[in-house]
């Protein structure tokens, strides 16, 4: 996948030089390009913002440098332009799955009090990380790009598979344990030591549903329990 990020702070994305993302870039599974919006301003002082018409606090990102940057990037990247802003739909795993199937994407990071409204003419989609305020679009862009990229085939190794992770199938993940078997009196559940793969699978499914019910009931309300899952729930709760 080719990803272009338009930002005022390119150095913030050095995080992608490490770990799984760094490996994906080195292996050319991900082609990541950063573009400094200041490089496209016509202002001799490299300004990219100005006071809002009508008054008000703060500054607004000007149309000229942002639009010129988008037009430049579009010459090599034909993907949809995604703006990280508060008006957008809240990002979730289903959106990540959809976007991971794209071949090219362009992300625009906002700043200050927002962007000139006319820039929206060049934006295809707006995404919000959540109902809270960040210092800039970069802070939202990093986790969103990371979430999308790890779903691309080849980015994760088999040992790092995302199939059983929280949110992938709409539920939170089941509990995980590693050695030692007994830590300060807290023991690993016996079923995980049984070697009975089918029983372990059912236990994990039940625990996934139970934890989701306890901690994120809103997710469980949207989740359609299968006939098998209902049977698993009954089986384990009958033992209580």
Predicted confidence band of residue 159 (pLDDT cuts 50, 70, 90): low
Mapping DSSP to helix (H, G, I), strand (E, B) and coil, where does residue 228 land?
helix
Q: Which residues pair with 182 in a beta bridge?
A: 187
58 is in an annotated binding site: no
Q: Quick check: 53 pLDDT over 60?
A: yes
Please tell us whether the domain made up of 163-238 is placed in CATH 1.20.120.420. Answer: no
How far is it, in rounded angstroms, from Cα 116 to Cα 118? 5
154 is in an annotated binding site: no
Fold (CATH) for 2-158: Alpha/beta knot (3.40.1280)
195 is in an annotated binding site: no
Identify the sign of the CA torsion 94, 97, 99, 102: negative
Predicted confidence band of residue 157 (pLDDT cuts 50, 70, 90): confident
Whole-model pTM: value is: 0.87
Contacts of 159 (CB under 8 A, 6+ apart): none
Domains of the chain by residue range: 2-158, 163-238
DSSP 145-189: HHHHHTTSTTTS-GGG--TTSTTTSSSPPPP---S-SEETTEEPP
Tell me, yes or no, if the two domains 2-158 and 163-238 fold the same way: no
Predicted confidence band of residue 207 (pLDDT cuts 50, 70, 90): very high
Q: Quick check: 160 pLDDT over 60?
A: no
* 65 vs 162, higher pLDDT: 65
pLDDT in tens, 14-35: 999 999 999 999 999 999 999 9
110 is in an annotated binding site: yes
What one-character DSSP code corresponds to residue 52?
A: P
Q: Quick check: 162 pLDDT over 80?
A: no
Percent of the chain whose pLDDT exceeds 70: 96
133 is in an annotated binding site: yes
């Amino acid at each position: 996948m080719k990803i272009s990020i338009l930002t005022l702070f390119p150095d913030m994305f050095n995080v992608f030089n490490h770990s799984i993302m760094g490996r994906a870039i080195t292996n050319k599974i991900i082609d990541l390009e950063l573009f400094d919006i200041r490089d496209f301003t016509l202002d001799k002082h490299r300004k990219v913002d100005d006071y809002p018409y009508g008054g008000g606090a703060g500054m607004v990102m000007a149309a000229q440098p942002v639009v010129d940057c988008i037009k430049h990037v579009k010459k090599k990247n034909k993907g949809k332009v995604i703006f990280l802003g508060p008006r957008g739909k809240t990002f979730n795993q289903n959106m990540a799955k959809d976007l991971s199937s794209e071949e090219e994407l362009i992300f625009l990071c906002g700043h200050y009090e927002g962007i000139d409204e006319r820039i929206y003419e060049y934006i295809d989609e707006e995404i919000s990380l959540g109902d809270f305020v960040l210092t800039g679009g970069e802070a939202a862009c990093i986790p969103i790009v990371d979430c999308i990229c790890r779903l691309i085939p080849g980015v994760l190794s088999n040992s790092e598979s995302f199939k059983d992770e929280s949110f992938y199938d709409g539920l939170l993940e089941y509990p995980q344990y590693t050695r030692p078997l007994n830590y300060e009196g807290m023991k690993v559940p016996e079923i995980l030591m049984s070697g009975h793969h089918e029983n372990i699978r059912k236990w994990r499914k039940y625990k996934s549903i139970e934890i989701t019910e306890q901690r994120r009931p809103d997710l469980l309300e949207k989740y359609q329990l299968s006939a098998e899952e209902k049977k698993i729930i009954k089986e384990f709760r009958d033992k209580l």
